[in-house]
Each structure stands twice: as C-alpha cells, then as structure tokens.
C-alpha cells in the first residue's frame, strides 16, 4: 500500500472514530475530571503528566513531518506551521502545569495519544508533502484569512476560559464552584466553544479533510460533554444562571 492510499484510509478512519465517539457519548462520558470512573477506565495518572503525554505527539509529529518533507515549504505552509506550534507549545508545555487537582485515566491518555499521533501525521504530511503547495499567495486567500482569525479567536477564548476554571479552586480544594466572567457569562462551556472555533478555523485555513478530522473528533467529544456539564451544574447549583446556554450563546 502506498502512502497516498494509507493517508486516505486513515483520514476516513478518523471520521468513523468521530461517529463512534458520538454514539458512545449517548451512554458514557470520557472518564476524566468530574466523570472519572476508575472502576471501568483503568488506573489514573496525575493530570499534569497525563495531559503532557497525551498532547506530546502533536508538536513532535508535526515537526517531524516538517523536517522530513520532500519539497520546499512555501510561505503559507510555514505560517500554518507557526499556528500549529503556537497552539501546541502552549498545550503541551504550559497548559498541563496550570494548577489543578484532578487525575485522568490511563485509557483516556492512551486513546488521546493515538488520536493525536494520527492528527499530527495527517496534517503534517498533507501540508508538507501530499497536499497542494501553500505559497505566499495563500496568505491573501479569504479562506486562510478567515480561518486564521477564527483560529486565534478560538484559542484566546479557550485559554481565557481555562484560566477562569483553574482559579476557582484554592490550593487543596477539590470541590466545584460556578465559574463566572468571560465566556461563562453566555455559555456553560466557553472553553469547548473556543476549542471548536479554533479547529473550525484550522480546517478553513488549511482547506483540508486532514484539518476537518480534528474538528470532527473534537465535536463528537465536546458537544455531548458540554450538554452533560450544563445539566450537571443545573442539578447541583439551584442558583446557576438561567440565561446561560450550553455551548452556543443565545441558541443552545
């Protein structure tokens, strides 16, 4: 089997995985954070180590595809490389070490590691070898400009929302409080909304099915989780703001 055929099969396998995750979400939620279930999901890892290991394939794999490329990288491709690394340097080297007091099951880490390895391969190889060359002219294309704006805006929303969540607990606390401010004024899960906006932007900026695989798998996991989080807060906090929606301001 040549690489082009393998690439195609892996791309569609990711969409099948997204569909499977969406179906599975009707019966269970990924076992981390408030939904941890060690009795079926295996042993736990400390959150910092878990997130670092799970995200590591993304920057390493993408850079490997860049180093092993078999053609010169155009200016547009380099800009997309910068966007990817901008996100994953934060996600791998900073985000795991923001104070938290949770754990993550080894099964989730293993699944996340495998998916992230696939995402980095698909996007890296498409950008630097198998897809169309993205030269300087791509930087003026409306798809890149709109996608880059969504990517950066989504990143800012996700990061600011995560920081609000991390500051809710004092050192040593393990309970939950109602998050307030920022995107939480409008929705229960602005961190998820930011993540999905960011990957919508990446899909548009790369104009690729490879980019859409990340969006599909993320949506299959985060949309049902946002709905479950919303219900969880309403059940446990009688004073939970009635005007908040689940994921989309004023809509859902």
> Taking the CB of residue 82, how many other CB atoms lie within 10 A of it?
10
The answer to whether 198 and 154 are in contact (CB under 8 A) is yes
Domain region containing 138? 3-236
27: in domain = yes
216: in domain = yes
The string of pLDDT tens digits covering residues 52-70 is 999 999 999 999 999 999 8
β-bridge partners, 46: 103
246: in domain = no
Listed residue (191, 199, 239, 238) closest to 215, CA to CA: 199
Listed residue (119, 234, 109) closest to 178, CA to CA: 234
Count how many domains the chain has: 1
Question: Under DSSP, is residue 46 helix (H, G, I), strand (E, B) or coil?
Answer: strand
* Predicted local distance difference test score (pLDDT) of residue 204: 98
70: in domain = yes
16: in domain = yes
* Predicted local distance difference test score (pLDDT) of residue 171: 63
* Predicted local distance difference test score (pLDDT) of residue 107: 83
Which distant-in-sequence residues (6+ apart) come within 8 Å of 229 by Cβ? Answer: 188, 189, 246
* Predicted local distance difference test score (pLDDT) of residue 26: 75
35: in domain = yes
The radius of gyration of the chain's CA atoms, rounded to the nearest angstrom, is: 19
Rounded Cα distance, 5 and 55, in Å: 26
CA 145 from chain centre, in angstroms, equals: 21
Given a cut of 50, the residues of the chain with pLDDT beneath it are none
The answer to whether 236 and 229 are in contact (CB under 8 A) is no
Structure tokens at 110: 């293993």
Rounded Cα distance, 181 and 190, in Å: 11
249: in domain = no
9: in domain = yes
């Amino acid at each position: 089997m040549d690489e082009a055929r393998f690439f195609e099969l892996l791309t569609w396998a990711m969409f099948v995985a997204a569909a499977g995750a969406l179906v599975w979400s009707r019966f269970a939620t990924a076992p981390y954070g408030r939904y941890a279930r060690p009795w079926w999901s295996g042993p736990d890892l400390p959150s910092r180590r878990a997130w670092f290991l799970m995200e590591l394939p993304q920057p390493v794999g993408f850079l490997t595809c860049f180093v092993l490329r078999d053609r010169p990288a155009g200016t547009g491709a380099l800009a997309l490389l910068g966007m990817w690394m901008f996100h994953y340097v934060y996600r791998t080297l900073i985000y795991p070490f923001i104070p938290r007091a949770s754990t993550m099951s080894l099964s989730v880490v293993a699944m996340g590691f495998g998916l992230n390895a696939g995402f980095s391969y698909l996007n890296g190889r498409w950008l630097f070898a198998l897809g169309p060359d993205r030269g300087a002219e791509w930087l003026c294309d409306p798809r890149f400009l709109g996608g880059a704006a969504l990517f950066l805006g989504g990143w800012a929303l996700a990061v600011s929302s995560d920081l609000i969540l991390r500051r809710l607990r004092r050192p040593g606390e393990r309970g939950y409080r109602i998050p307030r401010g920022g995107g939480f004024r409008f929705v229960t899960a602005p961190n998820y909304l930011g993540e999905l906006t960011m990957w919508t932007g990446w899909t548009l900026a790369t104009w690729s099915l490879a980019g859409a695989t990340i969006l599909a798998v993320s949506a299959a996991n985060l949309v049902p989780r946002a709905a479950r989080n919303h219900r969880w807060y309403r059940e446990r906090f009688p004073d939970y703001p009635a005007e908040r929606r689940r994921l989309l301001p004023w809509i859902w």
